[in-house]
Amino acid sequence: MKQLDFYWHIYRRDQIKPELRGNLVYLLQIPATLGTPVVRHVFDPRGVDFPASPGRRFAAGLVKNQHHGILYDGVSKAAVCDLRLEDPKLSKADPRFAFYNREVVCKSRDFFLIDPVAGLETMPDHTVRLLCGQNAILEKWNQPRISEFVWPGTTLQASRSRAA
């Protein structure tokens, strides 16, 4: 069996919308294969808004897990709560969580970031698939190039149609 590669992307505080900035770290752990939902974590390095998590335990947990990851560094507690209110609904038509996971990833990116499509054109395809919530879905369909598989209504589609 082929060993999977795991990809991570970090969005820094200067990429977060100013009104949503704070001192928390919001982490999405995205399963590398279909079958489980995205796991979300909120970390407070200062231990003010959420109980402190010892640095070693935090880092060790991330290294051991077999998930891709997207980290938003510098969000506020109110922003995290507002985003969670917009959670997509689970559907019986999506028993392997492919579309649910995609919505969680895309909504997070669109919600937190000043420019959700900044840099996507120059990133490797595997990173773009991760950031657009398409990595597990595309594995199933022989991974077409991202430009051939853009979801209607997403900010990525909007930026590509403007560029055309």
Give the pLDDT of residue 88. 87
Element (H, E) at 22: strand 21-31
The secondary structure of 120-154 as a DSSP string is GGGS-HHHHHHHTT-HHHHHHTT---GGG---TTS
- Taking the C-alpha atoms of residue 164 and residue 112, their distance in angstroms, rounded to an integer, is 26
**pTM, to two decimals:** 0.74
- Domain tally for the chain? 1
Q: Is residue 63 part of a domain?
A: yes
* Structural domain boundaries, residue 40: 8-163
pLDDT in tens, the chain (164 residues): 455 667 788 999 999 999 999 999 999 888 877 788 888 888 888 878 776 655 545 555 555 566 788 899 999 999 999 999 988 888 888 877 888 888 898 899 999 999 998 888 888 887 888 888 775 544 444 444 444 334 444 444 444 444 44
Residue 24 lies in a domain: yes
Residues in CB range of 25: below 8 A, 6 or more apart: 42, 43, 44, 45, 71, 72, 73, 74, 75
In a domain, 133, yes or no: yes
Whether 26 is in a domain gets the answer yes
pLDDT at 97: 83
